[in-house]
Amino acid sequence: MGKALVKPSKDIPPILEREFRDLSKYIVEITGVKLVTGKENLLESRLSRRLGQLGLNSWREYISYLESGIDENEKQVLINLITTNKTHFFRELPHFDYLKKEYIPERFKDFHDKEKTVFIWSAASSRGHEAYSMAMLLDDEICKRSLQHNLNYKILGTDINTNVINHSQRGVYPGIEVEGEVPTEMVQRYFLKGEGSNAGKYLISKNLASNIKFRYHNLVDPHSMLNVEFDVILVRNVLIYFDRKTIDIVIKKVCAHLKSGGLLILGHSEHLESVPKELTYMGSSIYKKT
């Protein structure tokens, strides 16, 4: 019988306190994601298998492997395994209600005097639900107002996890994530229902997808800047993983990309402790740049 290539994860000993500290330090440096004491199990459950795949016998060996830089790709493999990507369509509805009832009527009023393209950045877009939900909302509002020939929108979705970027670019979602979460008339208009081997899946329509791009972007990398200004920036449910200092740096960075009058939208549990002076709080974790 041939030798097993993948070592079973049960062979990896539990992570020691010192190893946990060193590995968490490495992770926070490359992602901003802070793993506090007590998250040892999370780290072990997500990474033990990977150590086995690499034929490594201890956490210390894995840390040395990462730090040696022998394998440039391993950093990204670690990021893909360690980031939490929970998301869904139209998550945190009050944000979409605010955009529909407050922001869009104002933005689309007298649009002749304003820019005709609305630019949106979903800045930790995970598997794409947030960006596509924004696209459905905007497309719907533009159609309802019969402004298709005059107004346009462009959405950029970015994330640090390359697996979720690939998933977003494919735009294929299981039925359970679409039915019930997306209003029925939007499902009919913006998705194609899979048939045959694709039964039970939905594909985002080409028309909608043509307004959206997904790219790699690390919010905590000071060299990773975009040369665009946005009308709306969503940084939702990612700041919860960062410490205060990192949050301040990230907020400063995204604010630099926000147009005057534009909105910064955070997750519902992500209130800012120090609010930059150019931002005014509008309620529901929404800030306006004045």
Ligand X SMILES: C[S@@+](CC[C@H](N)C(=O)[O-])C[C@H]1O[C@@H](n2cnc3c(N)ncnc32)[C@H](O)[C@@H]1O
Find the shortest distance in angstroms from Cβ 103 to ligand X: 18
Q: Which amino acid is at 109?
A: K
Query: Considering the rule CB under 6 A, would residue 219 count as an interface residue with ligand X?
Result: yes
Edge-to-edge strands of the sheet including 258-266?
212-216, 152-159, 117-122, 230-235, 258-266, 286-289, 279-283
Question: Looking at 76, 152, 169, 218, which residue binds ligand X (CB under 6 A)?
Answer: 218
The strand pairing partners of 265, in sequence order, are: 234, 286
Question: Looking at 48, 87, 211, 285, which residue binds ligand X (CB under 6 A)?
Answer: 87
Query: Under a CB-based contact definition with an 8 Å cutoff, are residues 108 and 151 in contact?
Result: yes
Query: Under a CB-based contact definition with an 8 Å cutoff, are residues 276 and 264 in contact?
Result: no
Q: What is the DSSP string of 139-152?
A: HHHHHHTT-TTT-E
Query: Considering the rule CB under 6 A, would residue 32 count as an interface residue with ligand X?
Result: yes
Question: Looking at 19, 40, 44, 130, which residue binds ligand X (CB under 6 A)?
Answer: 130
Query: Considering the rule CB under 6 A, would residue 133 count as an interface residue with ligand X?
Result: no
Question: Looking at 135, 136, 160, 233, which residue binds ligand X (CB under 6 A)?
Answer: 160
Q: Which of residues 34-73 bind ligand X (CB under 6 A)?
A: none
Query: Under a CB-based contact definition with an 8 Å cutoff, are residues 98 and 284 in contact?
Result: yes
Query: Considering the rule CB under 6 A, would residue 211 count as an interface residue with ligand X?
Result: no
Query: Considering the rule CB under 6 A, would residue 155 count as an interface residue with ligand X?
Result: no
| Interface with ligand X (CB under 6 A) | 31-33, 83-87, 91, 124, 126, 130, 159-161, 164, 218-220, 236-238, 241, 267
